[in-house]
A and B are shown apart, each in its own frame.
Chain A
Amino acid sequence: MTPFVYHRPTQLADALALLRDEQARPIAGGMTLIPTLKQGLAQPAALVDLAGIDVLYGIRLADGVIEIGAMTRHYDVATSPLVIAHLPGLADLAGQIGDLQVRNRGTIGGSVANNDPAADYPAAVLALCAEVVTDRRSISADAFFTGMFETALEPGEIVTAVRFPAPRRCAYAKFANPVSGYALAGVFVGVHAEGTRVAVTGAGPCVFRASAIEAVLARDPAAASFDAALLGPDGLASDLHASAAYRAQLARVLAARAVARLT
């Protein structure tokens, strides 16, 4: 790990000023960044710790929208009575991330900013039509996740919160890689007044919507299975953990499980 200067601002404006330096990186829970630094895959000259900025914490409900501050830990989302009541699928998802110690440190802001292709939160953000709020704008989920480890964030832009409009119902089903805990495939289903959204993580290079499955659910909201033609291996990931065909199969089965959990 290369040496770095450490900053712990207490105001968002100070953090933004420090991040104008291209060599500086924000650190949230550090659950992804610290392993990356240890491997030498990132060598920032400065780390700007977001942990001291109070406005980045907390879970609030206003006008039917649940807003979760970027520094909110996975454990706090999993156990929040507000989230359990309004977004049970999201609480369930947060409780399945990694392990207890990881959930005690990792944050929602760090997870969406990182956009790991096998991370859980991106599936919920996309299926729940969430908005990613930053220091300068609000970005719709459809526009936020742009590719593998890529997002619409500009250099120096900080995620401050994620806003989830409360859906009618929602559920998550995941098949975890037994070693890493990350999703080999994970499917989040959100039922909204405008229709049902189905988002798949883990299976491809970036979270995506399974539009053919959404179309089936528009006709038959309780569909119990999805055939192979609705989600095939094209464009999915093949690696030592699983082939694209296996991931496609998992995603279809998980979609059916998530739908069954919607009640």
Chain B
Amino acid sequence: MSEPTSRITLEVNGRDVTADVPSRTLLVEFLRDNLGLTGTHVGCDTSQCGACTVHLDGIAIKSCTIFAVQAQDATVTTIEGLDPAADHPLQRSFQRCHALQCGFCTPGMIMAAASLLATDPTVGAAEVRGALEGNLCRCTGYQPIIAAVLEAGKELAG
């Protein structure tokens, strides 16, 4: 029996995409392998690390734990689409605050933080820690990441 496929139509980083993919294709596989958007990383593939975090209709989700076909008709934003000039306040504050070392967790951290700040840019450190619970970093010790998110929040709140 040949592999069952699904036709999917969704918007990725502002672009309409239509493709026929095996139904079991994960969203992260579709983004990386079909669309070449390799900014979204796979750290664990078991929903633990958050490196694969993207926005689905504006909210943070783990793209290793959703099939591409489940994103039918949805809007997906990856780190490449967060800001056309790669100049989002979070991208700047992560550099300023040294919130990355190897950078593996960074796209996921920024996408999770962006979803939090879009809800409320005035959040405090406790809320930031809470919202990033599903994102693991093996390098920084987290403190600079929290600082960077708070800084970006201040900028966004104006």
Contacts and interface: CB of A to CB of B under 8 A. Distances in A.
A100 B70 contact: no
B61 to A, nearest CB: 5
A99 B134 contact: yes
A5 B6 CA distance: 8
Given A31-B47, A100-B116, A101-B53, A5 B134 contact: no
A79 B116 CA distance: 14
Contacts of B59: 75, 104
Contacts of B133: 99-100, 181
Contact of B67 (A34, A35, A75, A100): A34
Given A3-B22, A35-B47, A101 B134 contact: yes
A3 B3 contact: yes
B130 A100 contact: yes
B4 A5 contact: yes
A4 interface: yes
Contact of B134 (A8, A34, A102): A102
A84 interface: no
Interface string A104-141: 11000000000000000000000000000000000000
B44 to A, nearest CB: 10
Is the interface on chain A under 10, 10 to 19, 20 to 34, or 35 or more residues?
20 to 34
B37 interface: no
Interface in B98-135: 112, 115-116, 130-135
A2 B66 CA distance: 15
Task: Sort chain B's interface into a size bin.
Answer: 20 to 34
A56 to B, nearest CB: 15
Interface of B: 1, 3-4, 6, 22-24, 26, 45-47, 50, 53, 56, 59-62, 65-67, 69-70, 72, 112, 115-116, 130-135
Given A4-B4, A30-B67, A102-B134, 15 more contacts: A3-B24, A6-B4, A8-B72, A30-B70, A34-B26, A35-B47, A99-B134, A100-B115, A100-B132, A101-B47, A101-B50, A101-B134, A104-B56, A104-B59, A105-B61
23 contacts: A3-B3, A3-B4, A3-B24, A4-B23, A5-B23, A8-B72, A30-B65, A30-B66, A31-B65, A34-B26, A34-B67, A51-B70, A99-B134, A99-B135, A100-B116, A101-B47, A101-B50, A101-B60, A101-B61, A102-B47, A104-B59, A104-B60, A105-B62
Interface of A: 1-6, 8, 27, 30-31, 34-35, 37-38, 47, 49, 51, 75, 98-102, 104-105, 181
